[in-house]
Structure 1
Amino acid sequence: MEQKLAKVTDVAQKSFDFVVVGPSVSGCTIASRLSENPNVSVALLEAGNSHFDDPLVSVPDGWMQQVFDPEYDWVFRTTTQEKVVNNITTPSGGPDKSFFWSRGKGLGGSSALNFLFWTRPQREEIDAVEALGNPGWNWERYFAAAKRAETFLPSPANNFPEFRELYNKDSVGHSGPVPISFCRTVSGAELYFQKALEAHGVKTIDDGLGGSLTGTFKAAANIDPRTGTRSTAATGYIVPALDRPNLKVLTAAYVNRVLTKKEDDDVVATGVEFEHGGNVHVVHAAKEVILCASTVKSPHILELSGIGNRNVLEPLGIPVQVDLPSVGENLQDHLIFTSCVFKMKEEHGFVTSETITLPEVQAKLRSIYGEAAGPLSLACTGVTFLPLHTFSDRADELIEKVEKRIEQNADKLSPGLKEQYELQLKLLKDKNVPDLEIVVFPVNVHPAGPPKPHIGLLPSIGHPFSRGTIHASSSDPKVQPTIDPNYLAEEIDIDILVESAKFIRKVTQDGPWKDVSEAELIPGANITTDEQLHEFVKTNVSTTWHSSGTCSLAPKEKGGVVDTHLKVYGTKNIRVADLSILPLLTVVHTQATTYGIAEQAADIIKADHSI
């Protein structure tokens, strides 16, 4: 496979119709779709390596060895977050207030590194994107495009069949490049949490991919059930396309900037400058440059190219080509409470990241799967999505609190942010739209002693009100941008996490969950009051690696970076087409959302060029 990749001499100083930066989920999708036309030439540049046939990528739980390894992970890091203290310690032993942001480095981007959840947003969330002034960016169009990315395949066997694999055949794709399925190995604890939720009025739903999420269900995953291996954007879209003479995929190509010239009042991209093998090269773009480099790198590359806020660029010595202050703004990220952890009773045979290594567990799983055993691995599949009114008795009080804060600060908010907040408030009031996700997490990230079954029930905010920024910190492209998610700047975010922790305790203190759990290890019996829980949550939060918004799709006067055709304002032929364009973060894991964005982007680009 490696021999089918381009050499630097195939790309440097050559001209292509389209130069795509970043073979992420969106980059792989768009490069593949455009190169389906043999009359269109495409160059795809990746800073990392291919990782073909790499077991750390192909085995679903290989991510545990990829994270923090710069071969696979960009290992971004945030600035100090004043409102939180995470549970990582500094070398001096004190608390750290910054966060690692892992992002996939290599072909396929984060689809090669993520937790494999395949979840689609709530219908109203996508329609809210259109309501921000983006005609055509609605649920119906997204839904049709997203299904084109996937082929749903049933699982041949699973180890806990009572944890039902429910789906609607009309809500999944049947002929797309990326195989998806239900993971065959689950912990088993998902079933008992589902029963506990049902006892408290939460329904188990039979279609988690059709635009109506409220309830609990087994999530699909980007796993090919025929092999038991991870499906990535690279294996789905790029590997089958590598024989196309009009597609050149170059790895180890670190993009520095987009090269531009002025034409009338707009900027025109002429090519891309990149580093390969210690040398700087240029690839020319006859039609367009398309940035698919992530919520972190797409705004970073724009700023390095002179497109961004003059007040950011000029102090760094970067010549301003387009003064576009919204670049790198409107950053949003899901924040998760990482510490609702339970020790489970061993006699129930729960499979966790610790117990799956035991010979007796391995033998049992192989007996279930038979000839289809393949690599034995574990993925997260238990998800629950809940509106605020479902899990909090204080819902009306919290909504009123947010509403008053928005009213009090109305004259200080930009028009775009004010409109976003009003839409978020509308979603928060809607008793059918989820504001929270709870994940059953069968991975003990700090194992100690003999293997024991530990399960986390981890809630995360669906629609954070806090906003942050990502900006270049140097004119040197190798220096990471400054990432400031501004976690918990808005009090409603911590309020929702505290209410969710209280709800989890309520659901697990008796009935089906209590029957199979031995003890709540964290927060534990010493945390009893709301005040104690509030402080505990602040010290035990983490990113879920779901950031968006830094190249927002919106009218320019409302903080937009790209228009409805994904063209960067002030440019004629630079587009951004990744998760950074999503102006309002949705409640779900972002992988399937990004595939849908990319398929829509490919349609738009083809139509604009009549190809």
Structure 2
Amino acid sequence: MEVAQEFDYIIVGSGSAGSVLAERLSADGRNRVLVLEAGGSDRRFFIKMPIGYGRTFYDERVNWKYETEPELAIDARRSYWPRGRVLGGSSSINAMVYCRGLPADFDAWKNMGNVGWGWEDVLPYFQRSECQVDAQGNAGPGGPLYVSDVTSQLHPLRRHFFAAAKEMGLPYTQDFNGPHPEGVGVYRINTRKGMRCSAADAFLRPAMQRPNLHLETRALVRRVLFQGRRAVGIEFEKDARIVSVRARREVILSAGAVNSPQLLQLSGVGPAQLLRQHGIDLVLDNEAVGGQLQDHLGINYYYQCTEPTLNNQLYPLHGKLLAGLRYVLTRKGPLSVSVNQSGGFVRSSAGMSAPDTQLYFNPVTYSTAPEGKRPLMNPDPFPGFIISFQPCRPLSRGRIDICSADPKVAPTIRPNYLSVQADVDAVIAGGRLVQQMMRTRALQGLVKEAIAPVLDSMSDAQILSDFRQRCGSVFHPVGTCGMGPDPEHSVVDLRLRVHGLEALRVVDASIFPSITSGNTNAPTIMVAQKAADMILADNEKVRRHADQTA
């Protein structure tokens, strides 16, 4: 084993959280910071071109390509979970939708005992990152993460969706991240001048110019190193070599909701029986490590329509060439945005106290077989659109656990989908909501033919049965190293320090006490901004104490 350098902070993972931490912890020049990333460079055309995520969806060069165990509630199918294995993590391969979530999501965190994590507490940390770009392309003041209004590049088909929502009495919102996020509208996305703006672009790459920040790519972390119950370093593998690095102040796991609990367990922190089963020396017995897994499930409904859609532009070879030429020359057009163009947070019925369903309206159909593994950029040869829904706040909880002491072996993922009756009810309510929307005059005139299975004639039982057969993850796993004040039922405390251990924190989506209503990238970045303040404040206290006692 090689013994390498010593750093103040070691960050595992360069994704949405790790990139923020790298920038913040290295900013004053006093701290030596090491970032370890299992993947390689994000300098790839299909990462930088926004619609290119359809090509990275199954690309093992940048994607962990996880799968769950067969889930009984979804007809014993495995759910595919793409996760970024590249600089920027999943922010380099996601659909770029930037939604903070609803204020009630974070007030719920606070009400669970997580003092300091309510909406008013976290809002400044969202704002710290964001640079708002208006529909004319003008960037306002703020942070380095571009949040762009790309309305001018979107397909006009969305007007039918908005008209349908108006018929139903659903509100319209100008900005899902504004003061009134409820309703339908246009999604803001993380692009800058027609190119993806990932966490690596916004935070990590500028920080890499600093001499006190060191990045190691293709570095597979094997375990956290401990002296007693204090984290003192990391062991990783690179180029067939095993390297040990030391941390003077803290080790920070930002490897995501799959890999952070996996790494804790590989390091001896987790359910004692599981670790003994795999011959791993126990550092701390905590059943919560890997538990409380949550994820959003969604489903698409496909329609042929009477107006041209993106299919008409992007299915023919000449259309692809024209769109490609336009993008290369101007950074505009359909390749400069996500296919997730419109949608919203709405109530499935008037009796709901808050929005409980997220909608998507996409002016394209890229496959009539959602389980197929062809790239998502191959549209169908007819005009069509997709309408989708996901229940916002599922209550079902699952687990992620190692199945080997070998860090190269993927962990076992058991989401335990639809195991709570309220989640089943939410599926039926969402299906009924889409049925109602498709029966509006606005969409009846747009639809030429529904592509089977046809939602319109389905009963509650059929809606649920179809959902079980065709639903899929919306790729928002959270909660596997959950935050909470009780060390028996959570993994990290309110300052994201691992309960019962020293100098070890987890900072990523795995710490969410409960899933947020929408896309999880924005709140993950928020968590990292807040964590950075706490880490710097805690270690400044240590510095002052050391100076006083010297």
Q: TM-score, normalised by structure 2?
A: 0.91
Deviations for 1:111-141, whole angstroms, at most 9, x for unmatched residues? 0011110111111110111111111111122
Q: What is the aligned partner in structure 2 of residue 192 from structure 1?
A: 160
Unaligned runs of 5+ in 1: 1-7, 86-95, 158-168, 396-428
For 1:57 and 1:490, locate their aligned partners in 2 and report how far apart those are by CA, in whole Å: 37
For 1:28 and 1:284, locate their aligned partners in 2 and report how far apart those are by CA, in whole Å: 20
Residues 307-456 of structure 1: matches in 2 within 5 Å? 307-338=269-300, 340-345=301-306, 348-352=307-311, 355=314, 359=318, 371=330, 373=332, 376-379=335-338, 380-390=340-350, 431=353, 433-446=354-367, 451-456=381-386
For 1:366 and 1:296, locate their aligned partners in 2 and report how far apart those are by CA, in whole Å: 38
Contact 1:353 1:442 in 2 (8 A): no
For 1:246 and 1:288, locate their aligned partners in 2 and report how far apart those are by CA, in whole Å: 16
Identity between Structure 1 and Structure 2 (%): 30
Residues 365, 205 of structure 1: alpha-carbon distance in 2 compared, 3 angstrom cutoff = farther
- Alpha-carbon deviation of 1:78? 0.5
Q: What is the aligned partner in structure 2 of residue 420 from structure 1?
A: none
- Alpha-carbon deviation of 1:495? 2.0
Q: Secondary structure of 2:249's match? A: strand
Residues 45-56 of structure 1: matches in 2 within 5 Å? 45-52=36-43, 54-56=44-46
- Alpha-carbon deviation of 1:504? 1.1
Q: Could you tell me which of 235, 250, 266 is aligned with 2:216? A: 250
Residues 356, 177 of structure 1: alpha-carbon distance in 2 compared, 3 angstrom cutoff = farther
Q: Could you tell me which of 65, 74, 84 is aligned with 2:55? A: 65
Contact 1:147 1:173 in 2 (8 A): no
1:573 aligns with 2:503: yes
Residues 372, 528 of structure 1: alpha-carbon distance in 2 compared, 3 angstrom cutoff = closer
Q: What is the aligned partner in structure 2 of residue 398 from structure 1?
A: none
- Alpha-carbon deviation of 1:371? 4.9
Residues 86-97 of structure 1: matches in 2 within 5 Å? 97=77
Residues 194, 153 of structure 1: alpha-carbon distance in 2 compared, 3 angstrom cutoff = same
Deviations for 1:573-609, whole angstroms, at most 9, x for unmatched residues? 1000000000110111011111111100111111111
For 2:329 and 2:4, locate their aligned partners in 1 and report how far apart those are by CA, in whole Å: 53
- Alpha-carbon deviation of 1:361? 8.4
Q: What is the aligned partner in structure 2 of residue 17 from structure 1?
A: 8
For 2:513 and 2:331, locate their aligned partners in 1 and report how far apart those are by CA, in whole Å: 42
For 1:555 and 1:62, locate their aligned partners in 2 and report how far apart those are by CA, in whole Å: 42
Q: What is the aligned partner in structure 1 of residue 207 from structure 2?
A: 241
Q: What is the aligned partner in structure 1 of residue 30 from structure 2?
A: 39
Q: What is the aligned partner in structure 1 of residue 189 from structure 2?
A: 221
For 2:179 and 2:296, locate their aligned partners in 1 and report how far apart those are by CA, in whole Å: 19
Q: Secondary structure of 2:335's match? A: coil
Contact 2:154 2:334 in 1 (8 A): no
Q: What is the aligned partner in structure 2 of residue 536 from structure 1?
A: 466
Residues 493, 173 of structure 1: alpha-carbon distance in 2 compared, 3 angstrom cutoff = farther
1:513 aligns with 2:443: yes
Deviations for 1:175-200, whole angstroms, at most 9, x for unmatched residues? 21111202343233322111101111
- Alpha-carbon deviation of 1:73? 0.6
For 1:337 and 1:449, locate their aligned partners in 2 and report how far apart those are by CA, in whole Å: 18
Q: What is the aligned partner in structure 1 of residue 533 from structure 2?
A: 603
- Alpha-carbon deviation of 1:274? 0.3
For 2:108, give the aligned amino acid.
A
Q: Secondary structure of 1:13's match? A: strand
Q: What is the aligned partner in structure 2 of residue 178 from structure 1?
A: 145
For 2:463, give the aligned amino acid.
L
Residues 362, 13 of structure 1: alpha-carbon distance in 2 compared, 3 angstrom cutoff = closer
For 1:274 and 1:529, locate their aligned partners in 2 and report how far apart those are by CA, in whole Å: 53
1:78 aligns with 2:68: yes
For 2:344 and 2:380, locate their aligned partners in 1 and report how far apart those are by CA, in whole Å: 30
Contact 2:8 2:250 in 1 (8 A): yes
For 1:458 and 1:450, locate their aligned partners in 2 and report how far apart those are by CA, in whole Å: 17
For 2:208, give the aligned amino acid.
L
- Alpha-carbon deviation of 1:516? 1.9
Q: How many residues align?
A: 530
Contact 2:96 2:189 in 1 (8 A): yes
For 1:596 and 1:352, locate their aligned partners in 2 and report how far apart those are by CA, in whole Å: 36
Q: What is the aligned-residue RMSD (CA, Å)?
A: 2.5
- Alpha-carbon deviation of 1:51? 2.0
Deviations for 1:431-454, whole angstroms, at most 9, x for unmatched residues? 2x2111011134434269962222
Q: Secondary structure of 1:240's match? A: helix
For 1:381, give the aligned amino acid.
Q
Q: What is the aligned partner in structure 2 of residue 303 from structure 1?
A: 265
- Alpha-carbon deviation of 1:557? 4.6
- Alpha-carbon deviation of 1:173? 7.3
- Alpha-carbon deviation of 1:297? 0.4
Q: Could you tell me which of 117, 121, 129 is aligned with 2:109? A: 129
For 1:312 and 1:296, locate their aligned partners in 2 and report how far apart those are by CA, in whole Å: 17
Task: Indicate the larger mover: 374-383 or 273-282.
Answer: 374-383
Q: What is the aligned partner in structure 2 of residue 422 from structure 1?
A: none
Residues 269, 173 of structure 1: alpha-carbon distance in 2 compared, 3 angstrom cutoff = farther
Residues 372, 579 of structure 1: alpha-carbon distance in 2 compared, 3 angstrom cutoff = closer
Contact 1:255 1:275 in 2 (8 A): yes
For 2:337 and 2:184, locate their aligned partners in 1 and report how far apart those are by CA, in whole Å: 20
For 1:561 and 1:293, locate their aligned partners in 2 and report how far apart those are by CA, in whole Å: 15
Contact 1:121 1:211 in 2 (8 A): no
For 2:209, give the aligned amino acid.
D
Deviations for 1:272-300, whole angstroms, at most 9, x for unmatched residues? 00000011111110100000000000000
Task: Indicate the larger mover: 465-474 or 486-495.
Answer: 486-495
For 1:330, give the aligned amino acid.
Q
For 1:576, give the aligned amino acid.
V
For 2:347 and 2:207, locate their aligned partners in 1 and report how far apart those are by CA, in whole Å: 42
- Alpha-carbon deviation of 1:211? 5.4
Task: Indicate the larger mover: 209-218 or 193-202.
Answer: 209-218
For 2:534 and 2:480, locate their aligned partners in 1 and report how far apart those are by CA, in whole Å: 21
Residues 200-211 of structure 1: matches in 2 within 5 Å? 200-210=168-178
Residues 83, 364 of structure 1: alpha-carbon distance in 2 compared, 3 angstrom cutoff = closer
For 2:146 and 2:399, locate their aligned partners in 1 and report how far apart those are by CA, in whole Å: 35
Q: What is the aligned partner in structure 2 of residue 412 from structure 1?
A: none
Residues 389, 551 of structure 1: alpha-carbon distance in 2 compared, 3 angstrom cutoff = same
For 1:473 and 1:327, locate their aligned partners in 2 and report how far apart those are by CA, in whole Å: 14
Contact 1:229 1:375 in 2 (8 A): no
Q: TM-score, normalised by structure 1?
A: 0.82
Q: What is the aligned partner in structure 2 of residue 115 from structure 1?
A: 95
For 1:355 and 1:450, locate their aligned partners in 2 and report how far apart those are by CA, in whole Å: 9
